[in-house]
A and B are shown apart, each in its own frame.
Chain A
Amino acid sequence: MSIAGEILANAIPGSIALVYPALGELVSERAGVINLGTEGAMLAGALGGIATSIGTGNVWLGVVVAVLCGAATGSVHATAVVLRRANQLASGLVVWFLALGVTSVLGASDNGQVVSLLGAVAVPGLSSIPVVGPVLFDQNLLVYLGYVLVPATWWFIHYTRGGLVLRATGERPAVVFAGGHKPLRVRFLAVCAGSAIAGLGGAQLALGIVGNWSNGMTNGYGFVAVAVVIFARWNPFGVLLGSYVFGVALAISSVVQAHGIATNQYLLDALPYCVTVVVLVAVSSVGRSNAPESQRDALSETS
């Protein structure tokens, strides 16, 4: 396989690790809440997943715990922002900070311990498609869940009553309230659900890619997720595309190094973030955003 091909193929696991937090962010933002705490939910999910795997030896139990940890982290943000109307950006950062502190303290004993990664499961038939088969369909189950979750989220948002209320809440909560629904409850649940999904991203990163715990190991994925959602124009399929672009930028570094090409690792490490900024700028400059109405100014709320 050419280097380019290898990069495109290696990008899948990392992309999926971003698909989860980005989908979670999307759900939360569709309800009108920006959640920078997504980064914290991922961290909590990663540690919860690793610690449970180490403790019980059961990776899948680790995945379940990761989801719960993510939801618990989200509930902090939801309480502050939805119930107490705190500033969304500040609360998100605080939640991340709390998660950073708590996971560092709790994870100290797990530092450096290696767990066995989630095994790849080849999908019969599909994995034997030439070229794309092994790339797309010889992955771990969390990757497949990610594939499924994208259209499922899209369907939920557009074709269910819950999805309609979710979208409406993100647009004009007062109208939703007048319609006899409970916008606060919708937002609370959306933030928790979104963070739970982000927790899965932490599990994919920790149990599907890295295999051990280190402090702050999510490295800004949760923040990138916010940018990916803007790029995706709040559409789940756009999230898939945006995550893949990021995943490719991420894969460049590892593939180039594996080939022993003399470059500086740290400059390559910066590449995904640079790509994200460039993409964000490109999307922002085309004009009208699709952002849910109630949060159109939330990214610039200063008090």
Chain B
Amino acid sequence: MSAPNDSRAEPHDTPALEVRDLVKTFGPVRANDGISFTVMPGEVHALLGENGAGKSTLVKSLYGVHRPDSGEILRDGKVQHLDSPSVARRSGIGMVFQDMRLIPALSVWENIALHLESTSGVLRPRQLRALIAETSERYGLATHPLRKVEHLSIGEWQRVELVKVLLGGLRLLILDEPTSVLTPQEVAGLFAMVRRLTAEGVAVIIITHKLREVRQIADRVTVLRGGRTVLMNASPHALTDAELITAMVGEPVETLQRAVTPPVTGAHALVRLNGVSVRRPDGDWGLRDLDLEIRPGEILGVAGLAGSGQNELADLLVGADGIADGEVVVDGEAVALPDPVRMRRAGIVGVAPDPVRQFVVPGMTVAEHTALWNSAGMFAFDVRHADADLRRRDAMAELRVVASSRRMDRLSGGNIQRALLTLALTSDARVVVASYPTRGLDVLTTERTRTLLRRLSEAGAAVVLISEDLDELLALSDRVAVLAVGRLAGILPGGTADRNTIGELMTGVEAA
């Protein structure tokens, strides 16, 4: 194992990576249908595209996870067969996955040891820890080798992943949507590290769907749509945002413009949290001493680092979680929680933060999920009329939900999300608690969902919008509440809040 080579590949003529006409099919689906692009040494190359455009399939082929059906992958001008991730790693390719590939129950150094080639049967923790410390320092990636990964913040988690790939003698780094869970400050740190690597001649591929990042970091950009290359090796500076979006989506998209509605004056809060604290199953505080008012006709955005209490807040509001301290007042009346039925009858519905774990019942159809949703705790399940009801809802939401006879657990993440949104956003709710509502959706459905949320609030409902996407929060929210380690770090008016202030608030309490 050695750290990346310092000697720069001087004449940058031979591409570090060249992909020629790559095809990868899964059954009848052509996930990659003839993709080509090149990455030069020392270059940051952005792969831009919607969910389902084939970006992940592509990079998994580059990393040896998938074997392409046809096409060629050239490294430094030579054809290479990447049969497995370890072959890819040995040839200097490192990848940081979006769903981070670390084991929570193991310590940082153990996770790293797991990925290093070694002939010794006995572990040498001290030696390895020294090596980790050295690499961490060199690239400015603060890590704690002895800590268990489950206790790390998401940003630290990513830094461990980076140290892991850096220890392997890196020539080509692939980052799969690396910024989606980071604060603006952490994104800046990540990009600084990427620049240090490119200065050493390492080539970097960054997968993203955010134009801002393409502009910030990428030297060149390749756009994928429907498994094909629609724009190859272009310079992002020569293109407008509209051109890039059109390339991604296939047609121009009008993004929702900010239109802050004047707060409904004199309206009393539908839900009020007074000094609410919630304990997690592991004993830590999920929420601490939270005061919050949820008002009709208003979109309340909730920002925070992953795991700062957003999910606890969402669970609490739909009655799925109990409180350790404080009180939850609904329509002026304190309620005893957990009590999902009580909250649902009060007109509170939720878009679950983790639909696969919290919404999908394996073995049940979309119609049966509709019947379950409609039962609202009444223990009467009308499966027979569920199909008609779902079609009525679909006509309202226009999110194009799949046929109700399909099994929910066999749907893609995006289709599950559409089904959930269709149910939640057409339920005559007074409060909609929408956690990450647009996660995994394509651009058009995302815009549609945002429009629906806006409409609900205009019609007088309260919307609690929990999101990792600061742009989304700023575009939609009337107020933005920032959570940090379970505490309310501040509430900003949506119109004037800026990204850096929110970023500072997100991390502000972290030191405590």
Contacts and interface: CB of A to CB of B under 8 A. Distances in A.
Q: With a 10 A CB-CB cut-off, give which of A174, A175, A178 has the most chain B CB atoms.
A: A178
A165 interface: yes
B89 interface: yes
A162 B319 CA distance: 45
A160 B122 contact: yes
Contacts of B120: 161
A130 interface: no
Contact of A168 (B114, B121, B283): B114
Interface in A148-200: 159-162, 164-165, 167-168, 171-172, 174-181
Nearest to B282: A288
Contacts, number: 61
B84 interface: yes
A178 B113 contact: no
A293 B105 CA distance: 8
B103 A171 contact: yes
Interface residues of A, number: 22
Nearest to B122: A160
Q: With a 10 A CB-CB cut-off, give which of A159, A167, A174, A180 has the most chain B CB atoms.
A: A180
Given A168-B106, A171-B105, A179 B122 contact: no
A177 B97 CA distance: 14
A124 interface: no
For the residues of A in contact with B, the DSSP-based class is helix
B151 interface: no
Interface in B399-430: none
B85 interface: yes
Given A179-B115, A288-B282, A164 B105 contact: no
A68 to B, nearest CB: 24
A183 to B, nearest CB: 11
Q: With a 10 A CB-CB cut-off, give which of A174, A179, A181 has the most chain B CB atoms.
A: A179
A125 interface: no
Interface of A: 159-162, 164-165, 167-168, 171-172, 174-181, 287-288, 292-293
8 contacts: A159-B122, A164-B113, A165-B114, A168-B103, A168-B106, A171-B104, A172-B101, A180-B84
Given A171-B103, A175-B103, A180-B85, 19 more contacts: A160-B123, A161-B120, A161-B123, A162-B121, A164-B110, A165-B114, A168-B103, A168-B114, A171-B105, A171-B106, A172-B101, A172-B103, A176-B114, A178-B101, A179-B86, A179-B101, A180-B84, A180-B89, A287-B283
- Closest CB pairs A-B (n = 5): A180-B86, A179-B115, A171-B103, A175-B101, A179-B114
